[in-house]
Each structure stands twice: as C-alpha cells, then as structure tokens.
Amino acid sequence: MTIESIPGGRRRAPKEAAAISDGELSPRVRARLSALSGEVESLRRDLELAQKRLELAERVADQDQLLSVLNRRAFVRELTRHIGLAGRYGTPASLLYFDLNGFKVINDTYGHAAGDAVLAHFAAILCSHVRDSDVVGRIGGDEFGIILAHASEAQAKKKGAALMTALTVSPAQWEGKRLAVGFSFGAFGISAGDDASTALTRADEAMYAQKRGGQAVRQ
C-alpha cells in the first residue's frame, strides 16, 4: 500500500497495491506455484477416488453375497432406522416377511445352482414390485423381508398378496423346467417402542400363522 500527501498536509487514504502480474513473478516462484497447483489437483483426485472406494466398500458390505438385495445386517439397520422414524415423527411403516416353501426339494432334486436361480428370481420379482423408498433384504436362507415405508399393516397385507400374485404369474425356470415353489408371508405394522428383533419375530409369527392356515401360495 502507498500513502500519498495532498495539499494542506493531509494524507490520502491507503490504496490497495495493484495485483502482481504473472510476468512480475520470478521463474522460481512461478514454478513453485505451478507445482502447488498440481499437488492440489492430485490431492483432489485422490480424495474423489478414496470416496468412491469407500462407497463401493459400503455397498459390498451391505449387499447379500448372492443377490442384489441387502444382507441381514444391513436390513436390520434399515429396520431400526424406520422404527426410529416411527417413534420420532409418527411415520408409519410395515414389515413383510417372506418364506419359500419347498425350496429344499428344489436343491435336492436339481442341485444348488437351481436353488440359487430360484432365490435370484424371487429377489428380482420383489425388487421390481416395490418403490424406491422401500427396502428389500435377504434375512437368511430362503427367507426375505421388505420394509414398506409409509404403509400400515393392512396396506402391507394387500401388498404381500399382490406380490404373491406376481410371483405366481412369473414362476422361476431352470433349464427349461418350471420350478414349483410355494410362498408364505406375514405382515407386521411397525410402532414406536418396537425393536428390530421384535418386529422380525412378529412378522415371522404372522407368516407361520398363514402357513398353518393353508394360505401359502404355490406356483
């Protein structure tokens, strides 16, 4: 900055020094600035790559080893989150619990590759008939769960019936053979104060009640 005198002994207010042009920098300073700019860009790319790797690792950790749905751990985490929303904001949600009937017969008759095809087909049907806000997961073996956001237990039962119809209309196939597999489901409306274990148990009990009542759907 410079301070200029004006008549009467007064001084002008300081003025900002003019910006230094690139031509006024020494070659060494210009080289150093260029190197720093390159380092910053390299760090930015490394950060983006690390973020993508972290996101991929999280998806892999949450996904079932065989199917493109959540594994049990991730599904329970999402169920706990929806229970929290129900308690905090009164947001309704419901849980559907599915079980394949006759799955062991498929494995014993056609082999595990056929069983895997049945599981993959089942998961694909479920995923294609729910909303983006819903959550599909494999709870274990031949058991699956769906968390239906903003849905009452009565609405969940209707959705379960509709999914059963979709599965019946589109049976699994293996090497040109139709694989006959039965399905049962149970519905449970999530409430404040529930926990994931209780919700899964209640939905499982509702599924077995349907199965005992002879209401299981068979392809």
Active-site residue, from 64, 99, 134, 142: 142
SS3 166: helix
Q: Are 136 and 127 in contact (CB under 8 A)?
A: yes
Which pair of tokens denotes residue 97? Answer: 């619990």
Burial of 132 from C-beta contacts in 10 A (0-12 / 13-18 / 19+): exposed
From residue 180, alpha-carbon distances to 96, 110, 128, 139, 193 in Å are 22, 12, 21, 22, 40
Residue 28, Cβ neighbours under 10 Å: how many? 8
> Do β-strands 182-190 and 135-140 pair in parallel, antiparallel, or remain unpaired?
unpaired
Which of 204, 179, 213, 188 lies closest to 98, judged by CA?
204
Q: Round to whole Å and give the CA distance between 150 and 105.
A: 37
Instruction: Clarify whether 204 is annotated catalytic.
Output: no
Token pair listed for 43:
């760090």
State the catalytic residues.
142
